[in-house]
Chains A and B, each alone.
Chain A
Amino acid sequence: MKTLAAFLLLTCLIAGKVNGQDNTSRARCFCADKGINMVLLKNIEKVEIFPPSPSCNKNEIVVTLKNGAGQKCLNPDSKFTQNVVLKAIGKRMQQSVPHSTTTGTVKSSMTSSTSAPTAFK
């Protein structure tokens, strides 16, 4: 009986981690492959960084290109990403702290990380 109870508990613990109704969690990341290694900076309209979320357990970087050229995934491990994009993140983080000294307007397309002590508004 104890063995049966242990088996049942193990079964239910393993069986559990799923979506509410779907009964089958689905990995649905944005990036179909690793992504491209580099984008010409002059072609970039904006860059969006997606942390892990309920439908995907990876960090993803999506570049929106100018002139309606669509979107591309950036390879998070490429040199371009490490040197340019991630440094911009660090810079953004630093700027978030001394908020009162920031000048100029912030575009509506910009969003701040919620982990920052103060947000751009």
Chain B
Amino acid sequence: MNVDSKTTFSMKDFSDYTDLYNYSDYNDNESYGAGAVCTQDSSMYFDSIFKPILYSLAAVVGLLGNGLVLIVLWKKRAGLNVTDIFILHLSLADILLLLTLPFWAVEAVKEWIFGTPLCKLTGAMFRINFYCGIYMLSCISLDRYLSIVHAVQMYSRKKPMAVHCCCMIVWFFCFLLSIPDWILLGANKDSRRQDRTECVNSEALSDFWVLVNRLIYHFLGFIIPAIMMVFCYTSILLRLLLGSKCMQKKRAIHVIVALVLAFFISWTPYNIALMADTIHTNRTDNNQTSCETRTTLDVAITATSTFAYMHCCVNPILYAFVGVKFRQHLLDMLRPLGFKLKGRAGLVSRKSSGWSESVDTSHTSAF
């Protein structure tokens, strides 16, 4: 069959065959439901409602939070410690990812109206920062593990450039992952999706490459970072539990548990939805399948992926604002603006003075 675009025939085209064709192929035993057509109309409708609302919310909240982090870190750039530098790069990655969300929201409502060059840029930017954000979290957990459990300073406080270089390596690796986007993405019309133009590859992948694609995402985007975080923070927790039961350590334990939970709550549902979709698609080839199941999977993937992007909004709270020193810097910034927090700030300062000293020793801003 050699057809280049969608082609439609009416009854007129078949009039010549009405009387000639024999019915040898007709099979009364063909099972009910055979030949079912699964359109994507309902899942596309869900996307056009859900994505604009959630993406707008995520963009606003996330840009405010991460922007504030960047401002505070910029103000004290002379005295950044190791974790601060990782948080700086994390916030930058989150901001760049959140900036792409409005484009995808417009695509979901209307179609991709921004042309192919911007499609390549937006798609690549999304991927770079998608992976970069996850790997910065892993670097933070590794740094804390080394400094607390092994008392090893990977990076000296006096050599911040070494940390920046490490971050640049992560950025470069993520950039490599995005090279195919620069090459393959384009604004392409899809006759199966209401003839909309979307920012996608021009050709659908074979089933084999879809599977390879999924596996690479699962490993690079979830399993490896998850293993790193679980290992590092579990070791830190064990070390903290062996020590004395002071209030500061109890608080640090709560922070660690919150960090790990936030990561898994954000990303596990999405990975499960993808696995379910992969399994379902492979079973489809041999068995009949329900159109409702496919629509449900489409909706689930959209919902869980959006939920995962919310992690960009939570990162500032978990990694930056939890730190005592960070909050003090924030309050120092706000005082000239007339905020009357002096008394309370003083109390906080006095109460945590001992804790601040130990924080300096460990070079971590969150504990």
A residues apposed to B, CB below 8 Å? 8-9, 11-33, 35-38, 40-42, 44-57, 59, 62, 70-76, 78-80, 83-89, 91-92, 107, 109-115
Contacts and interface: CB of A to CB of B under 8 A. Distances in A.
25 contacts: A14-B212, A17-B209, A20-B185, A21-B107, A24-B214, A24-B301, A27-B205, A27-B281, A28-B192, A31-B37, A32-B37, A33-B35, A33-B284, A47-B13, A48-B9, A49-B6, A50-B192, A51-B3, A59-B1, A72-B36, A73-B35, A78-B25, A89-B1, A110-B9, A115-B4
Contacts of B202: 54
Contacts of B27: 37-38
B35 A31 contact: yes
A89 B1 CA distance: 9
A11 B9 contact: no
Interface stretch (B15-23, B83-91, B246-254): B15-23
B361 interface: no
A42 B6 contact: no
A111 B8 contact: yes
B203 interface: yes
B177 A46 contact: no
Contacts of B192: 28-30, 50, 53, 55-56
A115 B21 CA distance: 29
Nearest to B12: A107
Contacts of B337: none
Given A56-B192, A88-B13, A28 B7 contact: no
Contact of B181 (A16, A29, A32, A88): A16
B6 A50 contact: yes
Interface in B166-208: 173, 176-181, 183-185, 188-193, 198-207
Contacts of A8: 173, 176
B130 A49 contact: no
B36 A32 contact: yes
A67 to B, nearest CB: 13
B65 interface: no
Interface string B239-281: 0000000000000000000000000000000000010010001
Contacts of B204: 25, 27, 52-57
A36 to B, nearest CB: 4
B4 A51 contact: yes
A48 B6 CA distance: 7
Contact of A92 (B13, B37, B185, B305): B13
A28 B280 CA distance: 12
A17 B213 contact: yes
Nearest to B37: A71
Contacts of A74: 35
A47 B7 CA distance: 8
B184 A17 contact: yes
Contacts of B179: 12-13, 16
Which are the 5 A-B pairs with shortest beta-carbon distances?
A16-B180, A20-B123, A20-B199, A36-B35, A57-B204
Nearest to B221: A23
A44 to B, nearest CB: 6
Given A12-B178, A24-B277, 18 more contacts: A20-B185, A20-B198, A21-B104, A23-B130, A25-B204, A31-B36, A33-B35, A33-B287, A49-B7, A51-B191, A54-B188, A54-B193, A54-B198, A55-B204, A56-B204, A88-B14, A92-B13, A107-B12
Interface string B8-49: 111111101110010111110010001111111000000000
A32 B216 contact: no
A9 B26 CA distance: 53
